[in-house]
Amino acid sequence: MIIKNAPVYFYIIASILAIIAMICDSEWLMLLTKPSIIPALFIYYVTVNDFKIDSSLIAILFIYFISDVITLLEIEEATLYVMALDFIPYLLLLRVVVEDVFVLKIKKLSKINVAVVFSAFTALMVAMYYLIESFAKTNPDFVLPVIAYGIVLALYISFSLYSYLETDFDFAFNILIAAVFALIADVIFVVTNMIFSIEALNYLEFTLQIISYFFIVVYFLRRNNYRYMENNEYINSINEV
């Protein structure tokens, strides 16, 4: 167990040091620690999951790693490229969460939960409208990307919320936390890059981003465990017949 959790301890240490590096503006410490965060989570995933690999998670972690490297290199005019890269994991996560809702045995639809989710989605759309209004004149090139980004992110959060409200799955809570942290981080990203810049917000965005990575990995681990148990129950029921 200690060996399996070693990558998590490494992830925590690397994350803390990366945050310190960002606050202290230490380039060498950032170069040493930030590229280690996602590989540590990947190693944790494959060791705990007995080297079974989910292609969606691998793609998500790989794309986030590339995005982090681009950000680390401080390439000029790279904001749109980073947004385009980070958009792909949201599409993959949306697909997986939608699958949770429609495939993983949600037996009934609660009108109250549907109303809560619809209200949340509507609130996110209204918030996105006002956010875009605040930078549309100064950064018109970002309007359409942020709209596309915002709609997918809102759907991702809404389906995650619905899955959490309608089921007793512990992994539904993990992906909801990851989605909420990602939302806050992305709003901060838009604000600091297109409206006004506050250094402390950049630290918060970075912290929430790397925490969301952890919850995504835990989500896939627990989701895989659930599916494994479901398959075993199905096989046992066939054998009993």
Q: Range of 110's domain?
A: 2-240
> H or E stretch including 58?
helix 55-73
pLDDT in tens, 128-138: 999 999 888 88
Number of domains in the chain: 1
What is the rounded CA–CA span in Å between residue 88 and residue 61? 11
The pLDDT score that the predictor gives to residue 169 is: 78
0.85 exceeded by the pTM?
yes
Least confident range of 46-55, 89-98, 146-155: 46-55
Instruction: Please return the burial class of 116, using the count of CB atoms within 10 Å of its CB with bins 0-12, 13-18 and 19+.
Output: middle
Instruction: Say yes or no to pLDDT of 77 above 60.
Output: yes
DSSP codes joined into one string, 60-122: HHHHHHHHHHHHHHT-TT-HHHHHHHHHHHHHHHHHHHHHHHHHS------HHHHHHHHHHHH
